Structure 1
């Protein structure tokens, strides 16, 4: 008897899907099954039961609804989730690839496995081509970048360009890739589903055959994680709210013309500083600039962007998403020049700093009008530097 797994199963809609490329999958509040594929293994009841157990444990870990790194391959999402579950729950009838088969360590988190698998699964099984001239700033040619971007879009229905994908002799066939890709097709960040599962976790007393380590992992998932998207959006909103002016020309929302109304200046001047020191790799820079591109979705017409390491580079104005970035620097790191700059350029409403935080704490010996947001490269960088960073502004980290 598995009361916990049965309980979460009863909260899903059971839907038949005869065209999907896997036997069972979950997501969007439902459990889908392919009767044709189920009939092929119907004689092995243990196999079918373990497939269903796998999906229910996946739901408890909330992998279909949160913590999915941006631009992740559907195959990497499914594999990463399977690897985490396989290390905590015995499923002998399922042929789940082990992390060791990809030369990856055990006891890592879901996001870590997905990021590593994103890189590994894009390597051809027999790489023997030399790099060609005409590469971009991140070491890839324009054609390669376009192909990789298409390949990296989660849920876009595209498969890797080669018939087999993997590393060091571990190969995934087209059928296996199709099945793994289909498993995560319904996955998307969903706050409502996530909170429903959190409530179920809090109410569950009998976990059945789930191991102590897996139960701890499920309960630990209740801890609230910072969402950098919400932090950045909130930061931008706070800037706009700070530009409120009172006027007799507009009625107050509560008392009409008895009191002065409010006017907000929706134009904000933002400076974004990007750490280009030697400790920041190309992949992190790509993630930083992809976040910068999000600001145009918030209605901003232009953003001032500056690269820095031991000093500031030239300030550039972005009026749209940039497709190619020239990276300069790659030296050490210091933040003092940024704060000296906004001390003189007091027209900036906000300063956002993308960094790993490994530098001396800046000395701010003046009253700052400019609001500051530190965006750390990872959660570990955040935990290491948050105590001194929060003295000058808000702090979050980016998940990529």
Structure 2
């Protein structure tokens, strides 16, 4: 390490590292320079949020140049992934840990931050995304919560009236603390003589451990995370420019995939369902003496309007659809028992339609289905060609089937609802002429 770097102030050390990125790491440089850099001695380490990068100068000075470069690069990637500006979760410590795991998967630094496979002991956790890690950490935390003390065990301990450890240590009549105190004092003196007043390597390791520990700094380092569409758009513009000009620097393939995924807006299937429901609503006007005309009062009959919407929900029950997928699909039906849809006909299919229509007039959480073969959409299209009184058809599927022929029935609107984003991406272009499409679950990023 150069003497000039050692003697530099904390801010100067940061500036030297960031300026070195100008040619070699243009994307990291762009992320850093769109923030104000502020000294904050009250902080434990360093944090990002609300357009600022705040740092404790003592923390920065404690790091070697390579360690500082890793920490600053880590925070720059956290910015690029948008965690401080879009990824709020209820538990701050778990948010920070999930963010650390995501960034570490992108950069694979030498910082004392584990990879997910180290934490769970399974490489299936590699290359996942922030929300996935948060969900897994929350579930793990729930399972790891210690059970409450058994009142009977506590009562037994209280009734004994003695601490077994104290009894054992005092059997020989000696002071249980005397020898330990002498040993501790002598070891402390020896340690001080060997290390001197301060050990720089130990200080750096200690501060890096604090930076990596969500229990120590998770709350503090995420306290300013907040939804910020403008900042997120600014970050996305930098990522888009890097993609167009190949200005990635040394950012690796996995990090590129994660960053490119942030550029694609999320499809809100609930909004698609609302719009689809509104497009298929139909009403019937009925004259009645029980309601006055708005223009002529009781001299003329008034009008009542009854919803007459007929909706068909076709569920793919092929072998590639899991039990939880089916539960999720059937739960969507409940969205239509509001605002005008009074009943829904449900059928399920694989290579063929496997049941007579089941008419539902309220939401249900359990169904018994048969099938579990391959998938063929043609029988469903044939069904609406033969039963043209439906206003709308929703096909819930994983999409692993050929595109069906265009229906002759042009009255019934179709919505393709895929179980996840991956199958939606694979199928939606081919199905564009057959109706709208949406998906329920995001694919891992």
Q: Same fold (TM over 0.5)?
A: yes
- Aligned-pair RMSD on alpha carbons? 5.0
Structure 2 residue aligned with 1:309: 349
Instruction: Report the equivalent of 2:316.
Output: 275
- 1:103-126 CA-partner distances (Å, limit 9, x unpaired): 125873527xx5477458635xxx
2:105 touches 2:115 (CA, 8 Å); kept in 1?
no
Q: 1:91 aligns with which of 109, 125, 132?
A: 109
**1:31 Cα offset (Å):** 5.1
Alpha-carbon distance change, 369 to 105 in structure 1, aligned in 2, over 3 angstroms:
same
> 1:367 aligned to 2:385?
no
- Larger Cα-atom Rg: 2
1:211 corresponding residue in structure 2: 251
The offset of 1:351, in angstroms, is 1.5
Most deviating of 213-222 and 10-19 = 10-19
The alpha-carbon deviation at position 331 of structure 1 amounts to 1.7
Deviation at 1:26, TM superposition (A): 4.5
Structure 1 counterpart of 2:129: 110
SS in structure 1 at match of 2:427: helix
In structure 2, C-alpha distance between the alignment counterparts of 1:80 and 1:6, rounded to whole Å: 24
Conserved? CA contact 1:61–1:221, under 8 Å: no
Aligned partner of 1:8 among 31, 44, 65: 31
| Mapped partners of 2:387, 2:85: distance in 1 | 43
**Structure 2: gaps spanning 5 or more residues:** 1-18, 147-212, 286-292, 294-304
Note the C-alpha offset of 1:308.
0.9
Q: So what's the TM-score if we normalise by structure 1? A: 0.59
Alpha-carbon contact 2:312-2:347 (below 8 Å) kept: no
Matched, 1:376 2:418: yes
Other structure's SS at 1:398 match: strand
- What residue number does 1:162 align with? 144
Q: 1:329 maps to what in 2?
A: 370
Equivalent pair of 2:36/2:51 in contact (CA under 8 Å) = yes
Tell me which protein shows more helix as a share of its residues.
Answer: 2
Corresponding position of 2:267: 227
The equivalent of 2:394 in structure 1 is 352
1:13-24 aligned within 5 A: none
**Equivalent residue number for residue 122 of structure 1:** 139
Alpha-carbon offset, residue 355 of structure 1 = 0.5
TM-aligned CA deviation for residue 374 of structure 1: 0.9
Distance 1:301 1:383, change over 3 A: closer
Query: Are the structure 2 counterparts of residues 345 and 200 from structure 1 closer, same or farther at C-alpha, using a change threshold of 3 Å?
Result: same
2:74 pairs with 1:54:
yes
Establish whether residue 199 from structure 1 lines up as the match of residue 237 from structure 2. yes
Q: How many residues align?
A: 326
Q: Secondary structure at the match of 1:377?
A: strand
Report the Cα offset of residue 227 of structure 1.
0.9
Q: Cα gap change, 1:292/1:184 in structure 2, threshold over 3 Å: closer, same or farther?
A: farther
Question: How many angstroms apart in 2 are the aligned matches of 1:348 and 1:188?
Answer: 45
1:352–1:215 CA distance, 2 compared to 1 (3 A): same
Question: Which secondary structure state, in structure 2, belongs to the residue aligned with residue 45 of structure 1?
Answer: coil
